[in-house]
Amino acid sequence: MKALVYQGPGKKSWTDVPQPVLLNPSDAIVRVDTTTICGTDLHILKGDVPAVQEGRILGHEGVGTVTEVGDGVHDLVVGDRVIISCIKSCGHCINCRSGLYSHCLGEEGVAGIGWVFGHLIDGTQAEFVRVPYADNSLYKMPDGVSDAEAVMLSDILPTGFEIGVQAGGVKPGDVVAVIGAGPVGLAAVMTAGLCGAATVIAVDLDPSRLEQALDFGATHTVMSGSPGWREQILALTDGAGVDVAIEAVGVPETFAMAVDVVRPGGRVANVGVHGRSVELHLEDLWIRNISISMGLVNTSSTAMLLRLVTQHKVQAAKFATHHFSFDEFPAAYDTFTRAAETKALKVIISRQTEADE
């Protein structure tokens, strides 16, 4: 089969590799029909994730069709259309039983890490993928949900909702600032209303991203590079600061911005993946009663979000800005890497392009 293979920092290739086979009774083999690219894939290609070894197939998001199941798989049959969750779950360890799937202790990959695809085992940017613990790591797709919608439930929608909105404790009437209007930030913007946020302020350097944010549910936008950006945010809160600040970039400067605009007693939800250390001024924060949360998504909300997507209450297809076929992986990566120029949010890579279908 063909797959996108990591060949060391800055190197990747769409090349021939052996097809995956069942290794354990709980495995399934899935024909990947649609996949996409995540910012984490770009971090891997920069060499920022040393656990990813040369020869690893990249990708942790996908939608496909089950082609083979192990003897221990009970809830899936060949032919089922499924969403591949970015987090695997054995379903029986102490962490999985408590809903902490991101730290599944199952032996697949490394015990204690739920993110394995494209990281510790071969991923989804391929024609086929082996899925461990298939009964718990795959979600059946209902009729009427497109691949472009469903693939957003592999990672970005649960991540924005769980690590941004839920962990941030968004409640009815809250004022929420989302700092960073990339795909995950926009997922937080889109789902903040599910918990009753009254005001959602999108903050970004890119005017086109801010324009897009309004279509995703932001009530206000602020250009972070403009003079007086902080005062603009505070003016929307009667000077008090926001109830919840969601950091969705992953650099020290945006984390500092989140801390700077949250009110006393407010919450900072860090969603961004940081590659550099962040200075935490506890000498200033303690007296403001600030709560800070962070973490790896558990995908415990996937089933609920899928129901909302099915009923068109969450418009997941809005993230899909560019479409490519499997033989256009280099162009897809180029488009996603140059998102500021191309205005790409999520690139959809399918066995057939939308036009072919």
pLDDT of residue 19: 97
Predicted local distance difference test score (pLDDT) of residue 274:
86
Q: What is the pLDDT along the chain (357 residues), one digit of tens a residue?
A: 999 999 999 999 999 999 999 999 999 999 999 999 999 999 899 888 889 999 999 999 999 999 999 999 999 999 999 999 999 999 999 999 999 999 999 988 888 899 999 999 999 999 999 999 999 999 999 999 999 999 999 999 999 999 999 999 999 999 999 999 999 999 999 999 999 999 999 999 999 999 999 999 999 999 998 899 999 999 999 999 999 999 999 999 999 999 999 999 999 999 998 888 999 999 999 999 999 999 999 999 999 999 999 999 999 999 999 999 999 999 999 999 999 899 999 999 999 744 444
Q: What is the 3-state secondary structure (H, E, C) of the chain?
A: CEEEEECCCCCEEEEECCCCCCCCCCCEEEEEEEEECCHHHHHHHCCCCCCCCCCCECCCCEEEEEEEECCCCCCCCCCCEEEECCCCCCCCCHHHHCCCHHHCCCCCCCCCCCCCECCCECCCCECEEEECCHHHHEEECCCCCCHHHHHHHCCHHHHHHHHHHHCCCCCCCCEEEEECCCHHHHHHHHHHHHHCCCEEEEEECCHHHHHHHHHCCCCEEEECCCCCHHHHHHHCCCCCCEEEEEECCCCHHHHHHHHHHEEEEEEEEECCCCCCCCCCCHHHHHHHCCEEEECCCCCCCHHHHHHHHHCCCCCHHHHEEEEEEHHHHHHHHHHHHCHHHHCCCEEEEECCCCCCC
Domains of the chain plus CATH, in order, are 2-155+299-350 (3.90.180.10), 157-294 (3.40.50.720)
Model pLDDT, residue 354: 44
pLDDT at residue 356 in the model: 45
**Could you give phi then psi for residue 298, rounded to 5 degrees?**
-95, -15
